[in-house]
Amino acid sequence: MQEYDVIKVETEYMRNLLGRVLHDVLQKKKGYCVDFQICALSAANYDGEIELHVELDAVTDTKELKKICKSLGIFGELLPLGLKLLSNGFAQKNRYHLIENMVEKWLKENFKIKIRNLQFYEEKKKVYASLKADAKMEEKDIKKILKKHGFI
């Protein structure tokens, strides 16, 4: 008999609650301070294959973004250059385009994901990110990723 679960978060209350839970988990487990606004979230588990749709916005400061990128290895060999670009007068559009490309690469290396939109911009020393994506993964692969990054 086929088993499946479907979750669809639609109300503003639940989206805000899950955004706060995500913030708290990242703060507690990884020490990251990022505020999340979940715009849309749905997940379905069909016999161990999970389909996910997420639209979220995130806000943090530039210092925190550097810390997160460094810990995830997003800049890899380009970390010194990436940090320099983040801290000097290099055109804002170009430096965040660089980060978008590196974050997209990291996401695609770690998840079977289709990114519909990924944008970063900075305003008043705060960094804003927006992600719209769909992913399909095996339940066991999600567990491996969560374990790899210290969440389980």
* CB-based contact 92:74 (threshold 8 Å): no
The pLDDT, as a whole number, for residue 52 is: 93
The pLDDT, as a whole number, for residue 85 is: 55
What is the DSSP code (8-state) at residue 78? G
Give the integer Cα–Cα distance in Å for 60 and 123.
11
The pLDDT, as a whole number, for residue 79 is: 47
Give the mean pLDDT per block of 10 residues along the chain (152 residues): 85 94 91 94 91 94 83 61 54 66 83 90 86 92 82 76
The pLDDT, as a whole number, for residue 89 is: 54
pTM of the predicted structure, to 2 decimals = 0.79
Q: Which two tokens stand for residue 1?
A: 């008999």
The pLDDT, as a whole number, for residue 128 is: 92
Count CB neighbours of 118 within 10 A: 16
Count CB neighbours of 86 within 10 A: 20
Sign, CA torsion 145/131/60/37: negative
- Contacts of residue 16, defined as CB under 8 A and 6 or more positions apart, other chains included, come to 37, 38
